[in-house]
Amino acid sequence: MKGSERYDVIVLGGGPAGLSAAIYLSRAKIQTLVISEGMPGGQMILTHRVVNYPGVEDISGYQLSQVMKKQADSFGARIVANAIVSRIEADKEEKCVMLSDGRSFCSDALIIATGGKPRSLNVSGEENFRGRGISYCATCDGEFFTNKAIVVVGGGNSALEEAVSLTKYATEVHLIHQFDHFQAFPYAVEEARRNPKIKFYLSSVVTEFGGEDFLEYVKVKNLLNQQETELKVNGAFIFIGYEPNTQLFKQYPILNERGEIVVDENMKTTLPGVFAAGDAVAKRYRQITTAVSDGTIAALAAAEYINELNKHIKLVS
């Protein structure tokens, strides 16, 4: 595209998957551009403490993202942060990304690492206490609520399985679901009902999260009698689904019915030269470590693609 800046690989997304890809690519002397919607780090920035990242005992998500960014910078990757992408051409030989400010960038290969986000309840106090009592990942944050009372919101397999898992730490788990029945598999429902630490609030919704610096209470309304109850808790885990950030790719045949990107074992999509990694990919587990793994594999596969492309160009010329 005329007037565009040119790179070997463009990485869309500056979370752990995108930054890991940038580290591997730039260290291999492949010209790499990372385009990040916000600050580098993605959802990782919202994690108050990371204590299960191998080799790192205790670090905040923000600090870990800064370390990754510094590594990518040191190897020569360019990072464009706080960028708004308006259009993407991913199905041509030259992949191009256009920003809302008029800038455009093109490359031979594209790695989609746009991530995603847990669905929100969109009730009062949720944004205020995100990362300060409200979590969307039991594996990440469950241990922080040892010997404390918590709330779990949701009625699918994730909600019930994580509620049971969280009883290893919490003194009591209040399970809140808006319907009078669960959508989870029977085995998950039975296991949860057998656990004495779990209290059920069916046909109920959360109306407010409250407290001062950290979450201190959750208000719950019964939809049948309209009665509202205030639960004294220190934590809330919300499991009502996940939204991949893939809206810009709806016109391409690389998404499944949930909007997730389908890839093979090498993080390749069905579009030549287009790879994907991290939380936007169709997979079961979404952790910082799995995102880093995806980013590494996508980078190695993209590097191989670039090298093969260069060989072909030399042969033709």
Q: Splitting the chain (317 residues) into consecutive groups of 10 residues, what average pLDDT does each group show?
A: 88 97 97 94 80 88 94 97 95 95 96 92 94 88 94 93 94 97 93 97 97 96 96 96 92 95 98 97 91 98 93 63
Residues β-bridged to residue 181: none
pLDDT at 315: 62
* Active-site option among 8, 106, 137, 279: 137
123 domain residue, yes or no: no
pLDDT at 316: 58
Query: Could you tell me the residue range of the domain that residue 220 belongs to?
Result: 134-238
Among 215, 238, 261, residue at a domain's last position:
238
* Active-site option among 106, 108, 140, 294: 140
Residue 73 tokens read as: 């910078």
* Active-site option among 8, 106, 108, 141: 141
Burial, 232: exposed, middle or buried (Cβ in 10 Å; 0-12, 13-18, 19+)?
exposed
148 domain residue, yes or no: yes
pLDDT at 44: 86
pLDDT at 290: 96
Torsion of CA 46, 82, 80, 267, to 10 degrees: 50
pTM for this entry: 0.78
Among 204, 238, 272, residue at a domain's last position:
238
Is residue 137 flagged as an active site residue? Answer: yes
Is residue 140 flagged as an active site residue? Answer: yes
Per the CB < 8 A criterion, the answer to whether 255 and 262 are in contact is yes
Domain count, the chain: 2
Residues 296 and 152 both lie in one domain: no
**CATH number of the domain within which 307 lies:** 3.50.50.60
